[in-house]
Amino acid sequence: MKKKVLLVVMDGIGFSTSGIGDAVGTANTPVLDKLLANYPNVRLKAHGDAVGLPSDDDMGNSEVGHNALGCGQIYSQGAKLVNESISSGKMYVSDSWKEITENCVTNNSTLHFIGLLSDGNVHSNIAHLISMINQAKKDKVSKVRAHILLDGRDVPATSALEYIQQLEDALAACNDASFDGKIASGGGRMKVTMDRYQAEWNMVKIGWDTHVLGLGKQFATAAEAVESYRAELGVIDQDLPAFVIAKDGAPVGKIADKDSVIFFNFRGDRAIELSMAFDNDEMPYFDRGSRPDVTFAGMLQYDGDLKLPKRFLVNPPEITNTLSELLIANKLTQYAVSETQKYGHVTYFWNGNKSGKFSETLETYKEIPSDRVSFDERPWMKSADITDDLLAVLASEKYDFVRCNYPNGDMVGHTGSMDATIVGVESVDLSLARLMKVCDKHGYIMVITADHGNADEMAEKNKKGELQIRTAHSLNPVPFIIYDKTTTYSLKEGAFGLANVAPTVAEIFGLTPPSCWEASMLQK
């Protein structure tokens, strides 16, 4: 029988190294336990230099993880890409940077920065923002406003005041008779601006109203806003409502005609929709009111196929020679499925940051709409629906390579709810049981892995040694398992990362991978 492969990405499910807050180890996972005990498996590195990030202190994420899984190579990514551009000075001599700053100097207008204020290195880094503020002053920009999205997801859940103070200190160091820098607005990342995959456009509208129009609850400072909301609502940083900084009842930083705007996030998925609001003439998703005529740029181009945004500061990695391209070159059919929250990861990011298919005839994509509720309220998410779809697809025996993503370990893990995350992990385990049966019947080899850890480390100790909720990704390794009832595979010993998955899949198919790929993990 011709070999066919199902690749399952258990998003956010890794191996705990601390034993603290381990929802994966606590969950009842008889299927995963059986696979690890009886079938070939290794642990993969899914963070730091294994996925192109600056150091091993940098946690992996779903975007760089799926890039590495899908292309078999390691590219400079995210923070590392921007770090290189800033340290070399390349960013500040780019045409886009010159357009942004010269527009402000010529029109005596304001340069606005919008983005996630933390050093999580997943969506952004506060060091990049501070560097750009300092450079803007050197380039004779006289007025800067920062519109800050508070994290509590890739960094400790209630760390916002630390980052606000860092930014306030940086602005104070720049402020003088020739320069005026202030924080103008903000809000939690899961309430304001940073929607993705067009799942909740109202988040973007709230961001637009807050950052651009200056509409919303007013406070004298960002710190006052955070402290007031915490006392009133008892929520962590990512869930803080929108706020506007005002003086004498007037917003200090509305965005106006002839201003410049930089979205300083480098990760694309949660930056695309606000970029559409600034760049696109047509906006059917919400009423922008009086749309200001601004010079807008992103840190990166968030969607290369859509050319969005049109202007960007740092060129993204040009990822070529992906697994999808190799399979198509060998006339193998492919199917990709996930729910909305991770659909882009098994398509766009998997294919090297490309929105379109490589072949309309050989590839099929399926998006299952996500529920619009908090993930801890429905932690099984769409795992059953994804599995139902896969069972039909595998039974059809139409596709040579099928890939899917179960988002539960990541998306539920980010809520900080241990009980809900355990249910999410157990939902994925139930799905594996159903998939094993249909793989046996229809001749599929099931390859199981993850893109990064999260649910495996739901708590951490603070500086006082006290346990606190952890909502960020972990630095833990993730599984790689080969399940096949008819063939026995052996895996090499050694240090492997996510980029070793594609060459291993290629070898299972009997294909010769490009010479630029990492090594296969199969023992010949």
Q: How far apart are CA 192 and CA 194, in angstroms?
A: 6
The predicted model scores a pTM of: 0.79
Q: Which two tokens stand for residue 403?
A: 């890939």
**Pick from 328, 496, 484: nearest CA to 401:** 328
HSE toward the beta carbon, residue 105, CA cutoff 13 A: 12
519 within domain boundaries: no
236 within domain boundaries: yes
Q: Are residues 114 and 236 in the same domain?
A: yes
Q: Are residues 458 and 412 in the same domain?
A: yes
Question: Which single residue is written with the structure tokens 């919008």?
Answer: 114
**Pick from 460, 451, 463, 461: nearest CA to 497:** 451
pLDDT value of position 98: 98
What lies within 8 Å, CB to CB, of 391 at 6+ separation is 434, 435, 438
Q: Are residues 168 and 187 in the same domain?
A: yes
Q: How far apart are CA 290 and CA 280, in angstroms?
A: 14
> Torsions phi, psi of 380, nearest 5?
-75, -15
pLDDT value of position 189: 97
524 within domain boundaries: no
Q: Are residues 470 and 418 in the same domain?
A: yes
Q: Which two tokens stand for residue 167?
A: 């930014």
Q: Any alpha helices (H) in 145-200, and if so which ranges?
A: 160-174
Considering only CA atoms, give the Rg of the chain. Answer: 23
387 within domain boundaries: yes
Q: Are residues 353 and 482 in the same domain?
A: yes
Identity at 165, one-letter amino acid code = Q
Q: Which two tokens stand for residue 220?
A: 């004298």
513 within domain boundaries: no
Do residues 72 and 499 lie in contact, with contact meaning Cβ atoms separated by under 8 Å? yes
13: domain range?
A: 4-77+318-508
Q: Are residues 342 and 276 in the same domain?
A: no
Q: Are residues 223 and 117 in the same domain?
A: yes
224 within domain boundaries: yes
| Summary count for the chain: helices (H), strands (E) | 16, 18
Question: Which single residue is written with the structure tokens 């529920």?
Answer: 371
Question: Which single residue is written with the structure tokens 């940086």?
Answer: 170
- Annotated active-site positions, please? 62
What lies within 8 Å, CB to CB, of 99 at 6+ separation is 295, 297, 311
Q: Which two tokens stand for residue 127?
A: 């060091």
Q: Which two tokens stand for residue 236?
A: 């962590």
Q: Are residues 359 and 262 in the same domain?
A: no
Query: What's 480's DSSP letter?
Result: E
Q: Are residues 332 and 290 in the same domain?
A: no
Average pLDDT by consecutive 10-residue portion of the chain (524 residues)? Answer: 91 96 98 98 97 89 94 92 94 98 98 97 95 98 98 94 98 98 98 91 98 98 98 96 98 98 93 96 94 97 81 89 98 98 95 92 98 95 98 98 98 96 98 98 97 96 83 94 93 96 97 96 92
212 within domain boundaries: yes
Element of type H or E holding 62: helix 62-71
Cα–Cα distances (Å) from 345 to 107, 232, 451, in that order, read 41, 37, 10
Q: How many domains does the chain have?
A: 2
- Torsion 278-268-126-163 (CA) sign: positive
Q: Residue 403 sits in a domain of what CATH number?
A: 3.40.720.10
Q: Are residues 135 and 281 in the same domain?
A: yes
pLDDT value of position 494: 93
Question: Which single residue is written with the structure tokens 């072949």?
Answer: 359
Q: Residue 253 sits in a domain of what CATH number?
A: 3.40.1450.10
Overall residue count recorded for the chain in this entry: 524
Q: Are strands 478-483 and 41-45 parallel, antiparallel or unpaired?
A: antiparallel
Q: How far apart are CA 510 and CA 71, in angstroms?
A: 17
The angle subtended at Cα 246 by Cα 242 and Cα 248, nearest 5°, is: 150
**Pick from 41, 157, 250, 114: nearest CA to 467:** 157
Q: Are residues 23 and 153 in the same domain?
A: no
Q: What separation, in Å, do the N-terminal and C-terminal C-alpha atoms of the chain show? A: 21
What lies within 8 Å, CB to CB, of 230 at 6+ separation is 158, 240
Q: Are residues 132 and 231 in the same domain?
A: yes
CB atoms under 10 Å from CB of 290, counted, come to 9
Q: How far apart are CA 232 and CA 24, in angstroms?
A: 33
Q: How far apart are CA 114 and CA 99, in angstroms?
A: 17
Question: Which single residue is written with the structure tokens 């004779």?
Answer: 140
**Pick from 158, 152, 133: nearest CA to 144:** 133
**Pick from 174, 75, 183, 163: nearest CA to 134:** 174
481 within domain boundaries: yes
Element of type H or E holding 340: helix 340-344
